[in-house]
Amino acid sequence: MHTDSDRFLITPSEKSLRDLRAQDFILVDSNGQAVRGVIDSNRKPSIETRLHLKIYEARNDVASVIHSHPIHVIIYSYLDKPLPFLELLGKTRSIPIIPYYPPGSYKLANEVAKQIRFNDAVILKKHGLVTVGKTINDAYELIEALEKNAHIRISVQQLFGSSKDSV
């Protein structure tokens, strides 16, 4: 999460998001250096800190970035094609998918940053999803909507086969 100055709140690595408390977040500068919140070597900023910072650099209109691993979006990503997404106003847009790159890598951060310029969501093949928003809620709601969308598309394909053109 982008704070008012050039500081970002990042989740700690290897900690379940379910158990996260406000004091667990780590404040980093634009180089990913922790400025507050690291208390020992077991508590470090997420390995995807670089990814988050690259996105904030590419999109100064967003204040929240969420990287998640929604199960149906990941399954859908094996199809290797953009996820069509019907928005509330009836407009369809396609959520782009990028090839697989190792978690925490420069390549992953750069590819996501490239795509996120034009989209509020990017699918990471065989890995997960990145969404952005003006608030955490916006970014979170987008995860829910895309996960539901991917779930429906996968289920339709299972029931009716891959010839179904809506999948």
Q: Is 67 helix (H, G, I), strand (E, B) or coil?
A: strand
Backbone torsions φ then ψ of 138, nearest 5 degrees: -60, -50
CB of 128 to Zn ion, least distance (A): 5
Q: x/- string (CB under 5 A) for Zn ion, residues 102-131?
A: --------------------------x---
CB of 5 to Zn ion, least distance (A): 27
Query: In terms of CB distance, is 25 or 100 closer to Zn ion?
Result: 100
Torsion of CA 82, 88, 90, 93, to 10 degrees: -20
Q: Which of residues 45-64 bind Zn ion (CB under 5 A)?
A: none
Query: In terms of CB distance, is 124 or 167 closer to Zn ion?
Result: 124
Q: Would residue 48 show up in a list of annotated catalytic residues for this protein?
A: yes
Helices 49-58, 106-116: crossing angle, 10 deg rounding: 30
Query: In terms of CB distance, is 28 or 167 closer to Zn ion?
Result: 28
Put residue 14 in one of left, alpha, beta given phi > 0 → left and psi -120 to 50 → alpha.
Answer: left
| CA–CA distance, 89 with 81 (Å, rounded to integer) | 23
Residue with the shortest CB distance to Zn ion? 128
CB of 33 to Zn ion, least distance (A): 21
Known catalytic residues are 48
For binding to Zn ion (CB under 5 A), which residues are involved? 128
